[in-house]
Amino acid sequence: MISPRRARRLQRKRYREEERLFLAEGERLLAEATVPPLRVFTEPEQIRRVSTLKTPAGPVGVFPYLDVSPEELLARGRIVVLLEGVQDPGNVGTVIRSAHAFGAGVALSRGCADLYNPKTVRSTMGSLFRVPVARELDPLAFLELARGAGFGLAAATPGGGEPPGSMPGGNLVVAVGSEGAGLSPGVVRACGVRVSIPSRAPSLNAAVAASILLYEAYRRVLT
């Protein structure tokens, strides 16, 4: 039995990694779960002890880690978005929601926000349970693996690239960096195509850019 004290420790990454367990809060997240929780706290006093929120949003569940290997990620889908250095949990969670909408998987490089950070989990709105995600990846090694598996590779750049419609058809990995730093030069070089989203704004945040490119890739799969 997982005690409230043990569950509360899962608010910290160190203990999540040790136990390979994470917290999901609120009725909506628990309703979206595709794996059974190891424990659900429903009593108000227990929820207050375990919740990461000042105003708890409802029951809190304890779940086993869900991430997959990079090989499984590539085997399970035709479209994958690779995030490099995206440190904002809300952006990572939003990309996972968009990946759910457009039938894609997600690859997170080392240096991205923790997949199981409570803010990331909340911002996925339950899509975390339905999208294959590989994490803590070396981005160059992942791109090489994807190329060997027959995936086309496209890098999102702020300017100077082809329009999104020029992305390769078929299986595709789209690499997106943070709004501030963008993709590393090595990742851009490793991708066969550079794509830039036409925009009146000087830049788009990672979640917006990734969502647009995922939609374009999904549209090409449908047609």
Report the Cα 24 to chain-centroid distance in Å.
16
CA distances (Å), origin 64, targets 15, 35, 71, 165 = 13, 8, 20, 39
On average, the pLDDT of the chain sits at 93
Q: In what order do the strands lie in the sheet with 105-109?
A: 133-137, 105-109, 79-84, 172-177, 152-156, 193-195
pLDDT at site 124: 96
Average pLDDT on 16-20 reads 97
Residue 201 has pLDDT above 80, yes or no: no
Delimit the domains of the chain by residue range.
4-64, 70-222
Please give the CATH number for the structural domain made up of 4-64: 3.30.1330.30
- The residue written with tokens 């994807």 in the block is 146
Q: Residues of 3-14 as b/e, b for ≥16 C-beta within 10 angstroms?
A: ebeebbbbeeee
pLDDT at site 223: 66
153 SS3 class: strand
Please state which of the ranges 60-69, 136-145, 166-175 shows the lowest mean pLDDT.
166-175
Pair of tokens at residue 30: 């628990």
- Across-strand partners of 109? 137
- Across-strand partners of 155? 175, 194
Average pLDDT on 156-185 reads 86
From the candidate CATH numbers 3.30.70.120, 3.40.1280.10, 1.10.3080.10, 3.40.50.720, the one assigned to the domain spanning 70-222? 3.40.1280.10
Sequence-distant (6+) residues with CB within 8 A of 138 are 109, 110
Residue 40 has pLDDT above 90, yes or no: yes
88 SS3 class: coil
- Contact between 178 and 206 (Cβ < 8 Å): yes
pLDDT at site 180: 80
Task: State the Cα–Cα distance between residues 42 and 143, nearest whole angstrom.
Answer: 43
- The residue written with tokens 């304890």 in the block is 62
Task: State the Cα–Cα distance between residues 13 and 177, nearest whole angstrom.
Answer: 23
Average pLDDT on 152-162 reads 86
pLDDT at site 77: 83
Q: pLDDT tens digits, residue range 66-117? A: 999 999 999 998 999 999 999 999 999 999 999 999 999 999 999 999 999 9
Task: State the Cα–Cα distance between residues 119 and 208, nearest whole angstrom.
Answer: 18
pLDDT at site 101: 96
